[in-house]
Homo-oligomer: A and B are copies of this chain.
């Protein structure tokens, strides 16, 4: 077995809540905080904490605005986030391929 793909899995993306968030954001130009929370059935605190980690890693951008006079927080992948996510998915593919060969 080649240990490469395991060693290279990005811990920021690998955590399963953050992996779910990154996957959702990879499939949409942007999503509101509420959309993310509802899609993942996570608590506000949980989503916020993951978003903060992704933001600190430079993977997710957060924009605060207003819609119908109510505050709206939207999230989207940064270019680094997209690159990191694609690399991560590539490593997962290698791990699956290795497992399927055994």
Contact = CB atoms under 8 A, between A and B. Distances in A.
A92 interface: yes
B20 A6 contact: yes
B95 A100 contact: no
B23 A95 contact: yes
B96 A96 contact: yes
Question: Chain A contact residues (Cβ within 8 angstroms of B): what range?
Answer: 20 to 34
Contacts of A17: 6
Given A16-B14, A19-B95, A39-B1, A102 B6 contact: no
Given A1-B39, A16-B9, A27-B1, A95 B95 contact: no
Contacts of A62: none
Interface of A: 1, 3, 6-7, 9, 11, 14, 16-17, 19-20, 23-24, 26-27, 39-41, 85, 89, 92-93, 95-96, 98-102
29 contacts: A1-B39, A3-B20, A3-B39, A3-B41, A6-B16, A6-B19, A6-B20, A6-B23, A6-B40, A7-B16, A7-B20, A7-B41, A9-B16, A11-B16, A14-B14, A14-B16, A23-B95, A23-B98, A23-B99, A26-B99, A27-B98, A27-B102, A89-B99, A89-B100, A92-B92, A92-B95, A92-B96, A93-B96, A96-B96
